[in-house]
Amino acid sequence: MKRIITAICMMLLTMSISAKTLVVYYSYTGNCQQIVESLTAQIEADVMRIEPEDKTQKYEADNYAIGTALLNAIKAAPDDAASYPTIDPVAITDLSQYENIIIVTPLWWSQMAAIMQTYLFNYSAQMAGKHVALIVSSHSSGISGVVADAERLVPDCTWMGDALWINASNHSNRASLIQDWLPMLNFAEEQTTMDKMYITIDGQTQAVTLVDNQATKTLVEKLQQAPVTVTLNSSGGFEIWGALGFSLPTSNEQINAQPGDVILYNGSNICIFYGTNSWSYTRLGKIDGLSESELRTFLKAGESNITVTLSLNNTTGISNVRSNAESGVYYSLNGQQVENPTKGIYIKNGKKVIL
């Protein structure tokens, strides 16, 4: 049981948040637009609509031929930019801020609508390495040809999951189709900034509020794998310090260290202060809420060979997490309880849920 509780606690501590998502769509007769409206009612995303440069082109039911001509031109020379119909200037040209991209496109003659093909052809390089998903709207034809077009046009992305097919007979049901599809997607995730670490000495645990720098990011990554135990020694009447056993990135500056400060010295040593000292250090964080005399007791000031464990797991918080997590309460992705959850991604009963 304790292992399960610890696992839930660790999950809440290391829970990650979905990175930014862009929805890109083309819609000639409005179906894809409605799909995008249903989609963005369920997820947080920026939206961009692609338009053909030539607005006079008509693809009405009695004149689908122009769609065929566009597709035939692409088929004849798929690697030639000139084969693709020109699209209007694209509003969002820098995709670097997005880790997830959802493409919503109509099917034309069992292929991807030519206008969307142009977009993917032009932005394929920027989509490399990103997590990409596909929604295809057709009247009734199956979508394997559109999926093949997407894979040809964006060969270097990570597909988040199977494409979602919405056709004329289930278009009115699109919201629930999307709701069932979203949890199956492998969205790229971004680690939330971890701002707490815990120091345990002789069975006593104290929280440390971490500063945000490369050293703490690297330290948190290390502690996510396993706690680190070090042997520290009192020194100079103001600190306990010793080797971490690994190096962290430094951003040294002259620091007047104060009681409670947790500091990186020379890239690979940790110093925890119960007094003051001025030196060129990289700040890691500060022990929360202990007076100088409490710090001296906690840190065993003056002693040698002090066993100190650094971890992300505050064992004293486990029972709270358990009782709430099992009662179906919603948590934000950084572990805060949410009274009235609205649209977004939450943790409920230890699982990620999308509202």
Ligand X SMILES: Cc1cc2nc3c(=O)[nH]c(=O)nc-3n(C[C@H](O)[C@H](O)[C@H](O)COP(=O)(O)O)c2cc1C
Nearer to ligand X, 32 or 39 (CB): 32
Residue 32 CB, shortest distance to ligand X, in Å, is 3
Nearer to ligand X, 32 or 306 (CB): 32
Nearer to ligand X, 101 or 271 (CB): 101
Task: State the Cα–Cα distance between residues 327 and 153, nearest whole angstrom.
Answer: 47
Half-sphere exposure of 264 (CA within 13 A, CB side): 25
3-state class (DSSP) for residue 65: helix
The token pair at 212 is 């945000």
Determine which helix (DSSP H) or strand (DSSP E) holds 114, and give its type and residue range: helix 114-127
Residue 184 CB, shortest distance to ligand X, in Å, is 22
Q: How far is CA 288 from CA 197, 211, 274, 310, 350, in A?
A: 10, 12, 13, 15, 28
Position closest to ligand X via CB: 67
Is there binding between residue 172 and ligand X (CB under 6 A)?
no
Residues 12-41 as x/- pattern, contact with ligand X by CB under 6 A: ---------------xxxxxx---------
Phi and psi at 176, nearest 5°, equal -75, -30
Selection from 158, 118, 152, 117 nearest residue 136 by Cα: 117
| CA end-to-end span of the chain | 29
Rg (CA), the chain: 27
Residue 127 CB, shortest distance to ligand X, in Å, is 21
Q: Choose the stretch contacting ligand X; rule: CB under 6 A; options: 135-143, 173-181, 251-259, 343-351.
A: 135-143
Binding residues for ligand X, rule CB under 6 A, total 19
Residue 109 CB, shortest distance to ligand X, in Å, is 4
Residue type for 46, please? D
Is there binding between residue 138 and ligand X (CB under 6 A)?
yes
Is there binding between residue 134 and ligand X (CB under 6 A)?
no
Select the residue interacting with ligand X from 52, 106, 260, 285 (CB under 6 A): 106
Is there binding between residue 64 and ligand X (CB under 6 A)?
yes
Nearer to ligand X, 170 or 268 (CB): 170
Task: State the Cα–Cα distance between residues 248 and 69, nearest whole angstrom.
Answer: 59
Select the residue interacting with ligand X from 98, 108, 121, 181 (CB under 6 A): 108
Select the residue interacting with ligand X from 15, 21, 50, 67 (CB under 6 A): 67
Task: State the Cα–Cα distance between residues 264 and 270, nearest whole angstrom.
Answer: 5
Residue 82 CB, shortest distance to ligand X, in Å, is 21
Cα 120 to chain centroid, rounded: 23
Is there binding between residue 56 and ligand X (CB under 6 A)?
no
Which residues is 95 bridged to in the sheet?
none
Q: Which residues bind ligand X (CB under 6 A)?
A: 27-32, 59, 64, 67, 106-110, 137-141
